[in-house]
Amino acid sequence: MGRAYLSLGSNLDAEHWLGLAVAELRARFGPLDVSPVYRSTAVGFDGPDFLNLAVAMESDLAPEALNDWLHALEDRHGRVRGGDRYASRTLDVDIVLYDDLVLSGAGHLQIPRAELRHAFVLKPLADIAPDLRHPVDGRTMAQLWEAFPKESEPLVVDEHCTLALAGRASSPGA
């Protein structure tokens, strides 16, 4: 068993797709720690705002197998692959951290995930795991968030979506 920290995002009917993803993660892996949902502007392209959250869970799958399972989850929920890397999507689910591992592999597996440098990944993780240490940097998620230039990537809590997801899993940050 390992402790996995995931980033989930969507900017197409986001509340619907994120709700389905959280429900499916809970059905497969059991109890989840779920962050508040944050609204942010699209990064790398002009498009609708994204809704993003983080989930922490125990996984019986190794990172590579979990990554494959998450790709299948995305595909089941309308993810279209093969287009521009920066584009609108129904669902994007990435392993950001897995225990204290540092690795990369097939299927764009990268732990820790490079997107941890963005507010939409870092802030939700800091909400649910403030004392979790970055396996390379050594600082906690709370310390990384404290040092983050927040004005560069503004976030707004999406109360409606946060409340909707709180009914689907435990939500210590909500």
Catalytically active residues, by annotation: 79, 89, 92, 94
How many angstroms separate the Cα of 85 from the Cα of each of 29, 50, 94, 133? 28, 15, 14, 29
Which residues fall within 8 angstroms of residue 44, CB to CB, at 6 or more apart? 85, 86
User: What pairs with residue 98 in β-bridges?
Assistant: 4
C-alpha dihedral sign at 62, 64, 70, 72: negative
d(CA 136, CA 54): 20
Q: Burial level of 138, CB count in 10 A (0-12/13-18/19+)?
A: exposed
Q: Burial level of 9, CB count in 10 A (0-12/13-18/19+)?
A: buried
For residues 171 and 163, the answer to whether their CB atoms sit within 8 Å is no
